[in-house]
Copies of this chain bind each other. A is one copy, B any other.
Amino acid sequence: MGFSDVCNRQKNTNIRWRLPAVCFVWQLSMIVLFGVFVRYNEESDTHWVDYRKEKNITSDIENDFYFRYPSFQDVHVMIFVGFGFLMTFLKRYSFGAVGFNFLIAAFGIQWALLMQGWFHSLDYTDGKIKIGIENLINADFCVAGCLIAYGAVLGKVSPVQLLVMTLFGVTLFAVEEYIILNVLHAKDAGGSMVIHTFGAYYGLSISWVLYRPDLDKSKHLNGSVYHSDVFAMIGTLFLWMFWPSFNSAIADHGDGQHRAAINTYLALASTVLTTVAMSSLFEKTGKLDMVHIQNSTLAGGVAVGTAAEFMLSPYGSLIVGFFCGIISTMGYIYLSPFLEEKLKIQDTCGIHNLHAMPGVIGGIVGAITAAAATNTVYGDLGLENTFDFTGPFNKRVPTIQGGYQAAGLCVALCFGIGGGIFVGLVLKLPIWGDPADENCFDDEIYWETCIKATELNMHSEQ
């Protein structure tokens, strides 16, 4: 019970001024910045009726809204219910899981509209960001990176820290995304690199900097109870079911979206079987572990992200899913304990197994598939359309594209690790109201709850 322990106990988790201040100031900033910069684009503005006539667009149904809105809503569900409920598995951190996920996503999407807007949707004629449905989807995507990172630090940080993490995370995301998609002209429809690799290494690096040697003090709360595992399955299933929409949401109109949905559907189906197989194989009596079913079943969706809109072919998708289910489950069994003990990375939700490894695999699969693309398989027009070999990139060929895809993966890794270490150091400052080691994984710290002693005892496992 030395000095560090005394410090720890004195930790002030009263965020009464800090949290409201951050929320108000940041939201006011958003209003000012939106006022200066953000306007409707030509498809969401009342001038659409004029634009339609002018451009000879035959029907309102050609508005991008109808191509993407169903996918957008599915993605939206993944962000708020999917990620939120996936993290409710802890017996006493369901409020924090779903509530803080809600908070940081709601902030993040606004900041993402601005950051991504400056890079991608700035109208140079009037200096305004013009937004439409695709921007909303991209904002949701951008936030997904930060929510993945939240999975690594779940239960160990304050909501103020989460907001800071989101502010920096979205900023870093927008820059790496610009480099990968625009400068390198890599393709990444489902974000294996841009979203998952970046987000996971961002979170793992933060968790590494914030390492808590005495986290064992709250280990009685670092586990699930029966019903919290069922709640988590709501998150798992909505992520799993809507992942085809995630990977196809911003793919090319027509065959691009169509193919991305099919590839993702197949990869995910395959992952479920190998996850179940591995989970059963590595338990002494062949029983299944809910942690694997909740998480590793999703790895195929992550790994097929980059290549989803390519001609990966149906069996290719199955193969990707097959290996990711194996690798991800093995990660939970062998790698997570190793990361925690040897590398000092405490990863509450195991995002290394669900997002980091499958994300990197996805980047590699994307690079290989791109490099192997041929005119025979894609057709001349199809090849040009799928990889956007137009404008300044009209000389690029598939093999070169493969190289740029691989370069994109490296950029995502660098931004994730570098950015995470930097933000981790910022979050180490003793001003953010994070919980003491013995109060981790406990909603009592940040939420009004009416938990009876009896109820708590019943649910704990000491």
Contacts and interface: CB of A to CB of B under 8 A. Distances in A.
A166 to B, nearest CB: 11
Contact of A231 (B113, B230, B385, B386): B230
Nearest to A384: B49
B106 A44 contact: no
B19 A277 contact: yes
A213 interface: no
Contacts of A70: 69-70, 73
B311 A45 contact: yes
B49 A60 contact: no
Contact of A49 (B290, B314, B381): B381
B102 A38 contact: no
A393 interface: no
A94 B70 CA distance: 30
Tell me how many chains of this kind the complex includes: 3
- In this complex, the member of A110, A283, A386, A459 whose beta carbon has the largest number of chain B beta carbons within 10 angstroms is A110
A366 B177 CA distance: 38
A66 to B, nearest CB: 7
Nearest to A51: B255
A245 B71 CA distance: 12
A347 interface: no
A30 B270 contact: yes
A106 B272 contact: yes
Given A40-B311, A46-B385, A61 B61 contact: yes
A268 B106 contact: yes
A449 to B, nearest CB: 7
A102 B237 contact: yes
A319 interface: yes
Contacts of A265: 109, 136
Interface in A80-110: 80-81, 84-85, 88, 92, 94-95, 98-99, 102-103, 106-107, 109-110
5 contacts: A27-B277, A50-B381, A65-B258, A103-B272, A225-B450
